[in-house]
Amino acid sequence: MSEAQLNIVFEGLLWPSHVHSEESLRYAREEFQVRDDDVFIVTYPKSGTTWLQEILPLVYSNGDLTPVHTVPNWQRVPWLEQKTGKSLLENRPSPRLITTHLTYHMMPKSFYTSKAKVVYVSRNPKDALVSSFHYHGMASFLENPGTFEEFIDKFLEGKVMFGSWFDHIKSWWPRKDQDNILFLTYEELLQDMRSALLKLKEFLGKPLSDDAIERIVTQTKFNNMKQNKMSNYSFVPEELMDQKKSNFLRKGIAGDWKTHFTTAQTEHFNSVYTQEMKGINFPFYKD
Ligand code: A3P
């Protein structure tokens, strides 16, 4: 496939054509029937999506590891907007766990009048950028990232898959106090998974025993997920994801951007960040 064919453009944004089509995106927006007991994981790419695809099924199984040891993450918590979304989700029994990278404004029409819940996970955009840069370097169905400098420019201009980080966060953040939305950060999951699980327990109204919490804390540690074939994308052929170049579960840390950005790049990023986030009462990622 040529570089030009790697993305489709829908509503002015780029979507990897390997897994998205105009039809799948239209279905997600216009036809998908959201149920009140649906739970969505919403993320900007490379912000902890796969992590939540491990955590949520474990919350729903009360820490029983069977689902995460037997079902691949993309079937466990399917992506709404991907080509497989309709077949994997339409007739799935409730409660459905659903993944999406959609902005608030692009959610299915039936979402806005539903009681469906959203767990939104944000990550320091510089770390999401670094993670995305390496992902583009290992996945043949994504555009060549170019140099790191070039990739920073594309990221800041929103000329990357799923559009601008700023537009994504600015679409969801104002809704953070709604009863049906829980806002978490990648960094808090890293720092204190137990507290995050208690928040999820309350938000989702799921009973979770102390034993279950311990099992989930252990199973969702980076090194354990990295070993889990159902979550580490090792089933994907090397022609599509070359994990010799970079693992999908790559480093799993906060602040890796510091080993990638020069001082000038940091200053440039921060000035665009300050401009973009002006007037938005968003307390994270000031440095
Ligand atoms: P890095 O490339 O920085 O390591 P997504 O699932 O949204 O594509 O995000 C992928 C990023 O989340 C990768 O970041 C991956 O390593 C990280 N990640 C996934 N599971 C994790 C875990 N259990 N602990 C920490 N980071 C995790």
pLDDT tens profile 111-150: 999 999 999 999 999 999 999 999 999 999 999 999 999 9
Please tell me the residue having the least CA distance from ligand 1 atom 2.
131
Residue 3: pLDDT band (50, 70, 90) is confident
Candidate of 189, 249, 257 to mutate for ligand 1, largest count of ligand atoms within 8 Å of Cβ: 249
CA of 50 to the centre of ligand 1 (A): 7
Distance of CA 86 to the CA centre of its chain: 19
Mind telling me the catalytic residues? 101
Please tell me the residue having the least CA distance from ligand 1 atom 18.
252
CATH numeric code, 3-276 = 3.40.50.300
Q: What is the mean pLDDT of residues 38-61?
A: 98
CA of 128 to the centre of ligand 1 (A): 9
Beta bridge partners of 97: 39
pLDDT surpassing 80 at residue 2: no
Ligand 1 close to Cβ of residue 48 (< 6 A):
yes
Ligand 1 close to Cβ of residue 251 (< 6 A):
yes
Please tell me the residue having the least CA distance from ligand 1 atom 14.
252
Please tell me the residue having the least CA distance from ligand 1 atom 27.
252
Q: In 10 A of CB 159, how many CB atoms?
A: 14
Ligand 1 close to Cβ of residue 250 (< 6 A):
yes
Q: In 10 A of CB 24, how many CB atoms?
A: 21
Take residue 67 and report the two structure tokens written for it: 């689902």
Dihedral of CA 84/90/92/97: which sign? positive
pLDDT one-digit tens code per residue, 167-210: 999 999 999 999 999 999 999 999 999 999 999 999 999 999 99
Question: What is the pLDDT at residue 4?
Answer: 76
Q: What is the mean pLDDT of residues 41-46?
A: 98
Beta bridge partners of 204: none
Ligand 1 close to Cβ of residue 233 (< 6 A):
no
Residue 245: pLDDT band (50, 70, 90) is very high
pLDDT one-digit tens code per residue, 50-104: 999 999 999 999 999 999 999 999 999 999 999 999 999 999 999 999 999 999 9
pLDDT surpassing 80 at residue 163: yes
What are the start-end ranges of the H helices in the chain? 22-26, 49-60, 66-70, 73-76, 85-89, 125-138, 148-157, 165-172, 186-191, 193-204, 210-219, 222-227, 263-276
Beta strands at 7-10 and 13-16: parallel, antiparallel or unpaired: antiparallel
Question: What is the pLDDT at residue 286?
Answer: 76
Question: What is the pLDDT at residue 95?
Answer: 97
CA of 220 to the centre of ligand 1 (A): 11
pTM of the model: 0.97
Ligand 1 close to Cβ of residue 249 (< 6 A):
yes
Ligand 1 close to Cβ of residue 171 (< 6 A):
no
CA of 51 to the centre of ligand 1 (A): 6
State the average pLDDT for the chain: 97
Question: What is the pLDDT at residue 233?
Answer: 97
